[in-house]
Structure 1
Amino acid sequence: MHQNEQRTLAVIGTGVIGNGWITRFLANGYDVVAFDPAVGAEARTHQNVERAWISMEEIGLAEGAARNRITFVRTIEEAVKDAYVIQENVPEREDLKKKVLEEIDLHANPEAIIGSSTSGIKPSTLQENLTHPERLIVAHPFNPVNILPLVELVGGQGTEQTTIDRAVEFYESIQMKPLVVQREIEGHVADRLMEALWREALHLVNDGIATTEEVDAAIVYGAGLRWAQMGPFLTFHLAGGEKGMRHMLEQFGPALKLPWTKLEAPELTDELKEKVVEGCESHAGDMSVSKMEDRRDEFLVKLIDLVEDYWPESRSLAKSGQ
C-alpha cells in the first residue's frame, strides 16, 4: 500500500459513533471517506465535526488536520477501495453488520484493517461469511469517541496476529489507548463492567432505595473520582492498607458471599421506565442534551490531562495486553 493511501481512512455508518471516529481521524491529519445511506447524513456529520472541533483544538491537532478533509460517497465500494483502515459503525444488528462487512470485505484493499465498532458481538461471529476474515477485528470505542482514548481490540478465530499488531500501532498513533482483549466474549470488557453497575442501579431505583440523581451522585462523588485514576483493582488494593490487596481480600473477601448485589436486571416495567425517565429529566432541569454534551466534553478534556499527569505509567495498555 502506498504512503498516500495510508493517510486515507473509511467510515461506514455516521451516527454518534461514526461521527466521533470521523472527528478523531480528521483531527489527527487523515483524509476520511464516509458512507451512510441515511437522508441528511452528510449535513449532520459536518455539524457534529464543527461542534466537536473546539475540543479537538484543546487536545491538540496534528499537522495538516482540517475539518474539510472528508468526502461522502454513494457506495461502500467507493468508500473502502483506497482506505488503510475501515471503521464500521452500522446499527447493532448482527444480520446488518454481517451484510455490510461482507461488502466491505469484497471491495477493501487487501492490506486494509477492518475494524467493527460493535459493543457486544464477538468478532468470530462477524467473520463467518468473510473471504478474508484475517483482517477483521473488533475495534470498540467509547462515546465521545473523539475524546475518550480507550478502544477495545478483539480478534476472532480467523484474525491474524499481525492485524492486531498493526491495529495497536494505528490506534496508538491517533492518541488512543488500545486494550487488546485476550479472549473474545460478548460485550468485551468495559461494557460488561458498565452493564453490571447499570443493572444494580436499576434495582436501587426500582426498589425505591435511591433516585436516579442519588445513584449518579454516589458514583460522581465517590467511586467515580477514584476510578478515573485507578480503577476497581488498585482502589481495593489501597483499601487493604500497607498489606494491600492481600489484606483486603482476607478482610473483605467473605463479604462477596453476602447477597448485596443482584446479578439479573429487574423487569423493565412501564413504571420503572417512567421512574428513570422522570428522574433524569428532573435532574437535567432546563439544560438541553447538547449543552450537557458540551459541558461533558470540556470536562473530559481537562480530566484526561489530569489522569495523564498523575498516572503516566498507564500511557500504554497494549504492551501488557498482548
Structure 2
Amino acid sequence: MSNSKPIRRIAVIGTGVIGASWAAQYLAKGLEVIATDIAPDAEATLQKFVKSAWPALERLGLSPGASLTNLKFTADLAEAVVGVDLVQENGPERLDFKQKLYKQLDELLPPDVIIASSSSGIKMSDIQSGVTSHPERCVIGHPFNPPHLIPLVEVVGGVKTSEAIVQRAIAFYKSIGKKAVRLNKEMPGHVANRLQAALAREVYYLVAEDVVSAADVDDALSWGPGLRWGIMGNMMLNHLAGGTGGIEQALRGLGGPMAAWWKTLGSPEMTPEFQHKLIDRVQAEVGSRTIDELEAERDELLIGLLELRNKRLETATSQKVAAE
C-alpha cells in the first residue's frame, strides 16, 4: 500500500451537522469533495450549510484552489467513492450500521484509500471487525464540532489498523491545518469527549442539586477556566500554577485539596426526572434566543480566538526564523 499518494479528493459520507462541516473544511483547503447521503433533502441542506460557513472560512484564510464548485453530491455510495483518496465517514453512531458500511466500503475501494470515521465514541477495533480485505486502512479521525472551525482531530487506530495509516492520517490532517492528537490506546469516547463527559457530570450535578443556576455555572466555566483552556491545556496551566516550582510545586500545594474534592464530586443518574430538571434550567438560561443566534455568537467568538492564536503562532514563527 502506498503511503505517499497525495490526498486531493475526499468522499464525505453522511452530510448531517458533522459531515457538512467537514465538507466545508475540505473545500476551504482546496480539496475536491464528493458528498453522499440518502436523506431526501440532504443535497439542499448541505449546500445551504457550506454557503453559510464560507464567509467564516474566507476570514480565516482559504487555500489556493478553494472553491464551492469543488463540491459534488450523489445519493449513490458506489458513485461517491470513485477515484477518492480518503473517505470521511459521518454515519449514525451505531455499531451495526458502521460495520455494514465499512464492509461495503472495503469492497468498493482500492486498498490505498484511507477510511476515516468521525465516530465520537465507538472504537475502531469494533467497527473494522467485519472488514475482511483491508482493515488496516481503517482509522478514527474524530473532529470536534464544528469541524470547519475547531482544529482538533483525534486519531486512533484499531487492532487491525497499520501504523503507517495512522501516521498518514495524522500527516494529512496536519497538512490542512488541523491539530491532530494521537491516541496510543483505544478508549470509549476517545479523549476529548471523555474530558467533556467528566466535566458535564459535575456541571449537571451542581445544577440539579440547585447549587448554582445553569447560567451561573456556564459563566463560571466560560469566564473562568474556560478562558485559560482556550490558550493552554490543563497540564500546562497546572505547571504555571506552581510558579517557579512548576507542576511539582503545584501538586504539592493543590494535590491534597484536589483529591479531597474528588471524593465529593457528584455521580448523578440520567433519569427522566433528572433530564427534565436540566432542560428547565437551560431553557431559563436560553430565554428568547434562538439556536441560530447562539450559534452565530459561538462562531464569531471562536473565529476571533482562532485569529488571535494564529497571529501569535505567526509571530512566534517569525521570531524563531529571525533568531536563526
Per the normalisation by structure 1, the TM-score is 0.92
- Looking at structure 1, the residues matched to 69 and 313 of structure 2 have their Cα atoms a distance apart, in angstroms, of 35
Which residue, out of 156, 159, 162, partners 2:158? 156
Partner SS, residue 231 of structure 2: coil
1:288 maps onto 2:295 in alignment: no
Aligned ranges 1:86-235 → 2 under 5 Å: 86-130=87-131, 131-235=133-237
Corresponding position of 1:24: 25
Which residue, out of 236, 246, 259, partners 2:248? 246
- Looking at structure 2, the residues matched to 6 and 310 of structure 1 have their Cα atoms a distance apart, in angstroms, of 29
- Looking at structure 2, the residues matched to 129 and 260 of structure 1 have their Cα atoms a distance apart, in angstroms, of 41
Corresponding position of 1:297: 299
Corresponding position of 1:12: 13
How far residue 186 of structure 1 moved from its aligned partner, in angstroms, is 1.0
Corresponding position of 2:321: none
How far residue 139 of structure 1 moved from its aligned partner, in angstroms, is 0.2
Corresponding position of 1:75: 76
Partner SS, residue 180 of structure 2: strand
Q: Which has the higher relative contact order, 1 or 2, with Cα contacts under 8 A spaced 6 or more apart?
A: 1
How far residue 272 of structure 1 moved from its aligned partner, in angstroms, is 2.8
The letter for the 1-side match of 2:291 is V
How far residue 278 of structure 1 moved from its aligned partner, in angstroms, is 2.5
* More deviation, 101-110/279-288: 279-288
Q: What stretches of structure 1 of length at least 5 have no aligned partner?
A: 316-322
* More deviation, 298-307/137-146: 298-307
Q: What stretches of structure 2 of length at least 5 have no aligned partner?
A: 318-324
Partner SS, residue 234 of structure 1: helix
* More deviation, 143-152/258-267: 258-267
Cα distance, 1:262–1:101 mapped onto 2, change above 3 Å: farther
- Looking at structure 2, the residues matched to 141 and 165 of structure 1 have their Cα atoms a distance apart, in angstroms, of 17
The letter for the 2-side match of 1:149 is P
Aligned partners of 1:5 and 1:84 also within 8 Å: yes
Cα distance, 1:251–1:314 mapped onto 2, change above 3 Å: farther
- Looking at structure 1, the residues matched to 96 and 265 of structure 2 have their Cα atoms a distance apart, in angstroms, of 29
- Looking at structure 2, the residues matched to 66 and 273 of structure 1 have their Cα atoms a distance apart, in angstroms, of 43
Cα distance, 1:314–1:179 mapped onto 2, change above 3 Å: farther
Aligned partners of 2:36 and 2:73 also within 8 Å: yes
The letter for the 1-side match of 2:29 is N
- Looking at structure 2, the residues matched to 28 and 4 of structure 1 have their Cα atoms a distance apart, in angstroms, of 17
- Looking at structure 1, the residues matched to 263 and 56 of structure 2 have their Cα atoms a distance apart, in angstroms, of 38
Aligned partners of 2:28 and 2:66 also within 8 Å: yes
* More deviation, 250-259/133-142: 250-259
Partner SS, residue 65 of structure 1: coil
How far residue 270 of structure 1 moved from its aligned partner, in angstroms, is 3.5
How far residue 273 of structure 1 moved from its aligned partner, in angstroms, is 2.2
Q: Deviations over 1:126-169 (max 9, x none)?
A: 11011211100000000111011010000111111111121122
- Looking at structure 1, the residues matched to 263 and 77 of structure 2 have their Cα atoms a distance apart, in angstroms, of 46
Corresponding position of 2:67: 66
Per the normalisation by structure 2, the TM-score is 0.91
- Looking at structure 2, the residues matched to 255 and 299 of structure 1 have their Cα atoms a distance apart, in angstroms, of 34
Q: How many residues align?
A: 314
The letter for the 2-side match of 1:135 is R
